[in-house]
Structure 1
């Protein structure tokens, strides 16, 4: 039971991390494509 819960938690964490990395990559790409600005 505990092993299953840990496995599920690990999978959710991996999914969250993947989403976060994807969002960060998009932000970085948009930032590099646009001219340098304060924002």
Structure 2
């Protein structure tokens, strides 16, 4: 997936990193809900 999203400019890479962080936080929140919910 990341091989196709590679772009020469740094802004796109920064956006990809932000999306990855948001996805990680979302998964962590989902796991917490499943455990404690």
TM-score (norm 2): 0.72
Gaps of 5+ in 2: 1-7
4+ aligned runs moved over 2 Å, structure 1 = none
Instruction: Kindly report the root-mean-square deviation, in angstroms, between the aligned alpha carbons of the 2 structures.
Output: 1.3
What TM-score do the two structures reach when normalised by structure 1?
0.69
- Structure number with the higher helix fraction is 1
The answer for unaligned runs of 5 or more in structure 1 is 33-39
Structure with higher Rg: it is 1
Aligned residues: 30
